[in-house]
Amino acid sequence: MVKVLEIIADKVGKDVANKLIQDGSVTVNGGVINQSDLELNVYDLVEFDDRKICYLGANYVLEENSYPQAAK
């Protein structure tokens, strides 16, 4: 299983991720979390700093507004 800290740290770094979690700035499925070792289930929605990341399992995550741009 993937922990919420790993998903956030991948985007902003481990130190910032820990601070966001400690400050109560992270929600999972709409509920504020304060434990960095919380394990995510498939389709859990992690939100922080106006970012939304959906955990899709097997190392796949989908972040809102992160779709690849079409080549010109």
User: What average pLDDT does range 17-34 have in this prediction?
Assistant: 95
Q: What length does the chain have?
A: 72
Q: Tell me the two tokens of residue 8.
A: 């956030």
Q: How does residue 71 score in pLDDT terms, banded at 50, 70 and 90?
A: very low
- At 2 the pLDDT is 87
Mean predicted confidence (pLDDT) in 45-49: 92
Judged by DSSP in three states, 55 sits in strand
> What CATH code is carried by the domain that includes residue 38?
3.10.290.10
Q: Count of domains in the chain? A: 1
Describe the strand order of the beta sheet including 27-28 as a list of residue ranges.
31-32, 27-28, 45-48, 51-55, 61-63
Domain boundaries, position 58: 4-63
Q: Is residue 71 part of a domain?
A: no
- Which has the higher per-residue pLDDT, 47 or 59? 47
